[in-house]
Chains A and B, each alone.
Chain A
Amino acid sequence: MDDLMFGLQVTLYGMGLVFALLTLLWALLALVARLEARPQRTSAGAPVAAPAPQALAATGVRVQGPGADQLAPELLAAIAVAVLAHAADHRPQVAAEVRSPAPDSLLAASRWVSAGRARQTARATSRRRG
C-alpha cells in the first residue's frame, strides 16, 4: 500500500513537473517568436502565385503516370522541390554507378554513362587479375 501511495505521488508530481517545464518552454518559444524582428506569416488561404510551367521544366523533373497532367502547378512545383532536395541530399552518399547526377550537369544527359564506366573499370580489373 505504501508503495502504491508512493507511486501515486510520483505520478502526480512527475506529470505536474513535466507539464510545468514544458509550459515554461512553450512560453519561452512564444516569447522568442514575438521578439523575432519580422515574423513572416502566410495563412493557408492566402493566394500563392503558381509557378510558371517553364520554371518547372527547367528543373529537369518530370512527373509521369496516370493523371499527372491534371495535377495543380503548385503540387507539381512541390514534387519538383522534393525530388531535387532528395537528389541533392543523397547524391554524395550513393555508389558511383547509381549516383544521380545534378540535373544541369553534363552527366545528366545519360545515367548509363556512369554505369558503363563502372563496367569498364570492373572488366579492366578482372583482366589485370587474369
Chain B
Amino acid sequence: MSADFLARLAQGVLNLSWQSLVMIAVAGLLLYLAIVRDYEPLLLLPIGAGALLANLPLSPLLGEQGMLTVIYRAGIENELFPLLIFIGIGALTDFGPLLENPRMVLLGAAGQFGIFATLLLALALGFTRNEAASIGIIGAIDGPTSIYVSGILAPQLLGPITVAAYSYMALVPVIMPPVIRLLTSQRERRIRMPYSQRTISKRTRVIFPIAATIIVGILVPFATPLVGSLMLGNLMRESGAVERLTHASANELANIVTLFLGLAVGSTMVGTEFLRLSTLLILLLGILAFAIDTAAGLLFGKLLSALSGGRINPIIGAAGISAFPMAARVVQRIAAEEDFENFILFHAMGANAAGQVASVVAGGVLLALMGAG
C-alpha cells in the first residue's frame, strides 16, 4: 500500500484545523440550545447543522456544486429566502390589535432606536459604514430583516449577525425584564389601561396591507421588498380568498424556506472566517441593541404616559419591537407580577405588531440612507 494511498485515505484527519474543531463545538452549542433548551429550534437547529457540515474537513457540501453553496446562491445571495419568510410571517400575523389602536404605531417607531444607536457604537469601534449599518440592524430584532439588510450591505458578516439576531430573540424574556424594572417604577408598572373594543371590519383588514405597501413603497422604495412580502402574506390571510395559498405560505413555504435559510446561514460560519474579534464584538453589540431598543421603547412609553395623564402603562413601549408575540407576553407577565389583575396584553400586542411593521420600514430606511442598491 503506497504512502500516497494512505495519505488520500487520511486526508480528512490531516485537514482538520483548530478553527474547524472550535466551530464544530459552536455548532454543537447551537444544536444544544435548539434541542435541549428549546431556544428558537426552527432556526438554530438548521444553522447548527449547516455550521457543522460546513466545518467538516474538505466538506464537499461547500464546493462549487455543493448543496450548501447551491442553497446559499439560490436564496441568500439574491435575498429570496428572507422575503419568502416574510410572506409566511404576514400570513401568520394578526394586525388586529394594531388596527384597533392605531396610535401604537408610534411605540413601534421608538423601538427601532437600537438600530441607530448600535450603528453609532459599531462606527466608534472601527467597523466600516456598511458593516456598522448591518450590525445595527440586529436592533430591528427581526431575523429576516437582519439577513436581508446585512446580505446587501455586508454579506461577509451574515453569519454572526444572523446568529446574534436569532439567538438573542430567544433571549427576549431574559433581556427585557431587567431593563423594564430598571427604568420604571412599581407605580408605573401597575397602571391599568382601559379596553376600547372596536370591531375591525374585513374591509379595514384588507385595506391595511394594501395601503401600507403603497405608502411605504412610494416613500421608501428600498423597503418595498420587505414590506411588500409581509403585506402580501397578510393580504392573503385577511382577504380569505386564497385559503390554500395562505395555509401553504404559513406552513409549507415558511417551513421549507426556514430549513434552507438556516442551512445556508450556517454554511457561512466557516471557522477561518468566523473566528475573529469582530464576531465577538458583533455578538456584544447585538445584545446591547436589544437592551437599547427596550429602553427607547420604554422611555417613549413614559412620554406617552405623561402626555395622556398617566392613562398609558409605559411598559407597553418595551413591546414595540419585532419579536412577535414574545415581547408582548413578557410585558404582560411583568405587569401581572405587580398586579395580578392587570391585563395589558392586548395593548402590548398592538405595540408589538407595530414593531413588526416598523422594523421592516427601518430596514428599508437604513438601506436607502446607506445608498444600497
Contacts and interface: CB of A to CB of B under 8 A. Distances in A.
The answer to whether A and B belong to the same complex is yes
Interface of A: 3-4, 6-8, 10-11, 13-15, 17-19, 21-26, 28-30, 32-33, 36-37, 39-45
B116, B133, B194 — most chain A CB neighbours (10 Å): B116
Contacts, number: 113
Contacts of B98: 29
Interface string B327-364: 00000000000000000000000000010011001100
A21 B219 contact: yes
11 contacts: A7-B120, A10-B133, A14-B115, A15-B116, A18-B358, A19-B106, A19-B109, A21-B215, A22-B357, A22-B361, A41-B197
B123 A14 contact: no
A33 B196 CA distance: 13
Given A17-B365, A22-B358, 4 more contacts: A10-B119, A13-B369, A24-B219, A43-B196
Interface string B177-209: 000000000000000001111110101100110
Interface residues on B, range: 35 or more
Given A10-B119, A15-B116, A43-B196, A25 B105 contact: yes
A23 B215 CA distance: 11
Contacts of B108: 22
Contacts of B132: 3, 7
A31 to B, nearest CB: 9
A43 B120 contact: no
Contacts of A37: 201
Given A29-B208, A41-B198, A44-B194, A11 B215 contact: no
B194, B357, B369 — most chain A CB neighbours (10 Å): B369
A6 B129 contact: yes
Given A6-B123, A25-B105, A15 B113 contact: yes
A11 B119 contact: yes
B102 A33 contact: yes
Q: Across chains A and B, which 10 residue pairs bring their CB atoms closest together, nearest first?
A: A29-B102, A11-B116, A44-B194, A22-B105, A7-B120, A7-B123, A22-B109, A3-B123, A19-B109, A44-B195
Given A21-B220, A26-B102, A10 B116 contact: yes
B112 A15 contact: yes
Contacts of A14: 115-116, 362, 365-366, 369
